[in-house]
Amino acid sequence: MASNARLDHRNPLVFDTHELGRRPGAQQRLTRTIDAPRDLGLQGVIGVPEGAPVELDLRLESVMEGVLVTGTARARAEGECVRCLEPIEQQLEADFQELFSYPDADDRGRVIAEPGDDAEDDEDRYFLEDGLFDLEPLLRDAVVLALPMQPVCREDCLGLCSECGARLTDDPDHHHDAVDIRWAALQGLAGSLEDGEKDEMSGGALPSAHADEKQEK
């Protein structure tokens, strides 16, 4: 990751490392509760609602190359079950660790004349800017990894009926009688034939009755 630009110390996800200095082994512990940024999680699946509280516990450790950040984020995630579409909530705990490098030091902590010459290496690294670092990219990655890709309301959720949409977990015996359309067509044809025979029988009896009456006369 390329060097950050113009970090704002007022941003709740921006942290200051000046108290550590560059004394390898120096440590600092921080706790902070922030409002969740927008789209924190798996969009359209499950995530932390924007503005919801996120508790951060951090340990900052000064090393030769920069500042090693180790921490845990805790929050409440919301989404919907992928099987029955019922809303669900779960407690989220995401652990993370990342080195934020000094912009003027290489991987061994040695000062280099022109930092950032190797663009490909910089893309995979996080950098301090004036002693500040932005935790948001690291937090987003950690939250995504901690959330389930296919959240369910319960492990044995049976989902929905494909025909009527009923929630099968509420009625495990729910079913629909399967009808073979070929038999249904034959049954309809048989019914038509029976109705026709009845009509013929009723229609044929009338002339006979009239004939008997004429003979009697």
Q: Express each pLDDT in 59-78 by its tens digit.
A: 999 999 999 999 999 999 99
C-alpha 54 chain-centroid distance: 18
* HSE-up of residue 132 (Cα within 13 Å, Cβ side): 15
Q: What is the pLDDT of residues 44-64, one digit of tens each?
A: 999 999 999 999 999 999 999
What residues form DSSP beta bridges with 215?
Answer: none
The whole-number pLDDT of residue 129 equals: 93
Cα–Cα dist 133/4, whole Å: 8
More confident residue, 90 or 216: 90
CA dist., res. 41 & res. 146, Å (int): 9
175 compared with 198, residue with greater pLDDT: 175
Among the listed residues 82, 87, 70, the one whose alpha carbon sits nearest the alpha carbon of residue 142: 70
Confirm if 143 and 17 have CB atoms less than 8 A apart. Answer: no
First to last CA, the chain: 115
Query: 129 pairs with which residues across the strands?
Result: 132
For residue 10, the SS3 value is coil
Quote the mean pLDDT of the chain: 80
